[in-house]
Amino acid sequence: MNRKRIALVAHDSMKSDLIEWALYNKGTLKEHELYSTGTTGFLVEKELGVPVHKFKSGPLGGDQQLGARIAEGLIDILIFFWDPLNVQPHDPDVRALLRISVVYNIPTACNRSMADYLISSPLLKETYVPKRKFNPEEYQQRRNVQFLEQISSIKGDRD
């Protein structure tokens, strides 16, 4: 069995849905490493009785901490029950987290149906390396070279 690093996140209005889903899938979830933002992690740990690596609350930087872990290759799956009908005070952080999960092509569920598909996938038990359309490190190198060329061009114009 290949343990996955699964991040569980939920907006306040969706926390009860995530907890209900997590309780239903407790047997599967306890076989993996769980990560979560503050309050959601506290609730998951309390209700499931399993350890959860907790980051700060989303509005206090937890979404960004989680995004950083994804960028470092330290999260395998993101399950984020977000509320599409209510504006969140930290909406830019939410969008950034979802964007980074797409950039690094990690399996991401934003609702219960997709979470059910992910948790029941046979790939959950196997080693899985996401294929990426582009390599983020190569992208960064290209950007660095472009900026160096721009700076050289500006210096050349001054000389």
Q: Cite the active site residues.
A: 63
| DSSP class per residue in 23-36 | HHTHHHHTTSEEEE
Distance between alpha carbon 134 and the CA centroid of its chain, in Å?
Answer: 18
Return phi, psi of residue 98, to 5°. Answer: -65, -40
Q: Is the separation of the CB atoms in 13 and 86 below 8 Å?
A: yes
Q: Is the separation of the CB atoms in 3 and 62 below 8 Å?
A: no
Token output for 139: 């992208």
